Amino acid sequence: MLGILVANLPGFALPGAAYFSPAAWGGTSRADIAAWALTFVLVEGKMRGLFAMLFGASMLLVIQRADARGENGAALHLRRMGTLFAIGCAHAYGVWSGDILSLYAMVGCVALIFTGAGTRLLLFAATAAFVLTLLNGVALLGLGDVLERVFGRSTPAALAREIAALRGPWRANVAWRWHEEAGPLTAFLANGPETLGYMLLGMAGLRTGFLTGTWPRRRYGAIAAVALGLTLPIDGVLAWRTNAHQFDAHAVVLASFVLTPPLRPLTVIGYAALLLCVAREGRVADAGRVALSNYLLCSIAATALFYGWGAGQFARWDRATLYVLLPPAWFAMLTWSRWWRARFTHGPAEWAWRCATQRRWIALRRKRCERDAI
């Protein structure tokens, strides 16, 4: 979640075309280009992949535990995904168009097919999903004018319409998202294969013990060093090349959708190994246990700052300045997560999701003995 916020900041504060291209909006000073490059190399696609990987592992855990209790784990999972889809659609249209929850819900239904698969089949299916992702990226290169409009500099008229809508009242924000932004089905077709691949990696990671922290720390450290040492320098070269081509739409798509997707799974595994090596417990773990609440709270807080129903700062900040928000946002996320986890069994959004899925009221406040143990 800490890394996802880094990736999402330009999406909250700047026109959509600026997410991939500083040339579209947000400034092209050295600081702005450096901010984009660091995000591209260290964060873009990687944090989302890590989130999906952990989602796949947790999905398998929920199904296994339900089956062990004598319940129908598959039915429970489908109810969870249906509820998550509703939450995601409310988030996408009511708060922010960059929602990933509805995508995870739809892909999670597909991933149910693989819950009984062995590790080898999971890895084979994940590889096939990543190959399909690469083919989707190659297909993007043939979109012509659409390529420039979506991944290039857009047009002054289109930028002006988006800025006016998102600086406007909440109803104008919703109307813009409803009419102009891609819906859940489009997101599923575009990003579903890659998301499925990471979920399957997460299932495999759970089955092998990689994600449970049972491997020796030295092994996690070696995996992180090799995976990140191989992939991040290549991403650095691609960032340099994209900037050298002045963020031409073809160069942007080639870097973000064709050349980096084959590297990302290894990078994501490297990040997972690094986290398991250095941050198994403490505030980071607490923040992870209320990840859904943190995700939604970040969207609400950011849109309150940038959209017209709040402070109306949309498209008024340059890219580099956005990142001054990270330290206070991270501090708030880590602090409230620790405070909440000491008093309650679930995050507020996690609790509502669980109650809706299980169709019953679930106790939220911890008992005194549980608080003392924490």
Give the pLDDT confidence of 136-151 residue by residue, as tens digits: 999 988 877 677 777 7
Average of per-residue pLDDT across 12-31: 92
Question: Where is average pLDDT lowest: 15-24, 160-169, 217-226, 236-245?
Answer: 15-24
pLDDT at 237 over 70: yes
Taking the C-alpha atoms of residue 230 and residue 266, their distance in angstroms, rounded to an integer, is: 9
Type of residue at 146: V
pLDDT at 369 over 50: no
* Percent of the chain at pLDDT exceeding 70: 96
pLDDT at 232 over 70: yes
Reported confidence tier of residue 223, pLDDT bands at 50, 70, 90: very high
Neighbours of 199 (CB within 10 A): 29
Instruction: Output the pLDDT for position 282.
Output: 63
Q: Is the pTM of this model over 0.85?
A: yes
pLDDT at 46 over 90: yes
**Residue 81 DSSP SS3:** helix
pLDDT at 286 over 90: no
Average of per-residue pLDDT across 29-37: 96
pLDDT at 34 over 90: yes
Question: Where is average pLDDT lowest: 15-19, 159-163, 294-298, 359-363?
Answer: 359-363
Contact 179, 172 (CB under 8 A): no
Average of per-residue pLDDT across 270-279: 88
CA dihedral over 244, 249, 251, 253, signed as positive or negative: positive
3-state secondary structure 200-246: HHHHHHHHHCHHHCCCCHHHHHHHHHHHHHHHHHHHHHHHHHHHHCC
Taking the C-alpha atoms of residue 265 and residue 4, their distance in angstroms, rounded to an integer, is: 16
Instruction: Output the pLDDT for position 10.
Output: 95
Reported confidence tier of residue 1, pLDDT bands at 50, 70, 90: confident
Write down the number of H helices and E strands in the chain: 19, 0
Taking the C-alpha atoms of residue 196 and residue 265, their distance in angstroms, rounded to an integer, is: 12
- What string of DSSP letters covers 134-164? HHHHHHHTT-THHHHHHHS---HHHHHHHHH
Helices (H), 43-100: 46-68, 73-94
Instruction: Output the pLDDT for position 372.
Output: 44
Q: Provide the residue ranges of all domains of the chain, joining segments of one domain with +.
A: 15-281
pLDDT at 359 over 80: yes
156 burial class (0-12, 13-18, 19+ CB within 10 angstroms)? Answer: exposed
Q: What is the mean pLDDT of the chain?
A: 91
Instruction: Output the pLDDT for position 373.
Output: 43
Taking the C-alpha atoms of residue 77 and residue 108, their distance in angstroms, rounded to an integer, is: 9
